[in-house]
């Protein structure tokens, strides 16, 4: 099986009620993982369910690129 790797810096916020929860080990193998965080609230529609957390996650991922 051919497995492709995403080289663009990638970030993943894992919400407990997501429909699919990719294992961190798989994300590390298949992406240039620079941000990974598992949260205690939210789900598939996290931007609507937990907008504050969603924005915090985006900011945390993007912070290193702002320098």
**pLDDT number for residue 6:** 95
For 31, residues 6+ apart whose C-beta sits below 8 A from its C-beta are 5, 6, 10
**pLDDT number for residue 3:** 77
d(CA 53, CA 43): 11
Mean pLDDT by 10 residues, the chain (67 residues): 88 93 94 97 92 96 93
Q: Judge contact between 41 and 18, C-beta under 8 A.
A: no
**pLDDT number for residue 67:** 78
Say what the pTM is.
0.86
**pLDDT number for residue 1:** 67
């Amino acid at each position: 099986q051919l497995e492709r790797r995403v080289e663009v810096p990638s970030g993943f916020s894992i919400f407990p009620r997501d429909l699919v929860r990719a294992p961190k080990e798989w994300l590390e193998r298949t992406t240039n993982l620079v941000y990974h965080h598992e949260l205690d609230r939210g789900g598939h529609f996290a931007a609507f369910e937990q907008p504050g957390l969603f924005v915090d996650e985006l900011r945390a991922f993007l912070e290193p690129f702002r320098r």
